[in-house]
Amino acid sequence: MTKGKQLYEGKAKKIFETDKPEILLVSYKDDATAFNGIKKGTISGKGIINNKVTNYMMRLLEKAGIPTHYIEEISERETLVKKVSIIPLEVIIRNVSAGSFAKNYGVEEGIIFDEPTIEFSYKNDNLGDPLINSYHAIALKLATKEEIEIIKKYAFKINEEMKKFFISINVKLIDFKLEFGKLADNKIVLADEISPDTCRFWDATTNEKLDKDRFRRDLGNVEGAYKEMMKRILG
């Protein structure tokens, strides 16, 4: 597979064409951002960790019946994926109060919810990815009612599978962000990544944060937390 021209560079990844129009190459960077790009930095080795962790989780979810864009890991930082048109909705599932949820609703972090919550935000950097509901998404023609139902079904199923997996490695899955895309035939698949960049992970014994919050909140040992998560996930 030949790496072609760069199509896109985001906060954490670069996307390249390949010699097959339906296949893209994703290259993961060590760059780190927070608060919609206001805080910037570098986390040494993050690109390698996020590539390997994402691919492991994509394979695990495929086995559980969740269709994904994953094809093949080709190097430490690079992976082949199916070309999708990204649905401009970030899907956030929360199992425990933390982050913006705790701040917005004036509750402490660490409250375990009776049922997971789901939120959508409009994926638009210029607007700061505002929270929207499914009616807004339909009005803005970001997705149809049927597509939103499929996304919700997949998101809750992903949560169940990931919670089971992470507790088996002594990690609490606090919350996480997902993105979905459509293949050429309009089939919806899980896209983007699943990593310490996009999930909140707490050690199940100590509640130590093992994710990007260590960077966001200047908690120190950011690289150590990412490496620990890779070690636990990959075994």
What would the two tokens of residue 100 be? Answer: 């913006």
66-112 pLDDT, tens digit each: 999 999 999 999 999 999 999 999 999 999 999 999 999 999 999 99
Query: In the chain, which ranges are E strands?
Result: 3-9, 13-18, 23-28, 31-34, 39-42, 70-73, 78-82, 85-86, 89-96, 112-122, 131-132, 171-182, 188-191, 199-203
Fold match between domain 3-82 and domain 85-221: no
Cβ distance 143 to 89 under 8 Å? yes
Delimit the domains of the chain by residue range: 3-82, 85-221
| CATH match for 85-221 among 3.30.470.20, 1.20.120.1200, 3.30.565.10, 3.30.360.10 | 3.30.470.20
Collapsing DSSP to helix, strand or coil, 152 comes out as helix
Average of pLDDT values for 185-202? 97
d(CA 108, CA 83): 41
In DSSP terms, which residues pair with 42 in a beta bridge? 31
Confidence bin at 38 (pLDDT 50/70/90): confident
What would the two tokens of residue 66 be? Answer: 């969740």
pLDDT at residue 148 tops 90 = yes
What would the two tokens of residue 195 be? Answer: 């990593």
- Of residues 70, 75, 6, the one with CA closest to residue 47: 75
**Burial tier of 81 (Cβ tally within 10 Å: 0-12, 13-18, 19+):** buried
Average of pLDDT values for 116-140? 96
Confidence bin at 137 (pLDDT 50/70/90): very high
pLDDT > 70 in the chain, percent: 100
d(CA 32, CA 41): 5
pLDDT at residue 47 tops 90 = yes
Please report the pLDDT score of residue 229 as a whole number.
Answer: 98
Average of pLDDT values for 134-138? 98
- Of residues 61, 67, 74, the one with CA closest to residue 25: 74
Classified by CATH at the fold level, domain 3-82 comes out as: Phosphorylase Kinase; domain 1 (3.30.200)
- Cα-flanking dihedrals φ and ψ of residue 187, to 5°? -70, 135
Q: Give residue 75's identity as a one-letter amino acid code.
A: S
Confidence bin at 28 (pLDDT 50/70/90): very high
In this structure, what DSSP letter does residue 138 have? H
195-229 pLDDT, tens digit each: 999 999 999 999 999 999 999 999 999 999 999 99
Average of pLDDT values for 166-193? 98
In 81-144, alpha helices (H): 99-105, 134-139
Cβ distance 13 to 21 under 8 Å? no
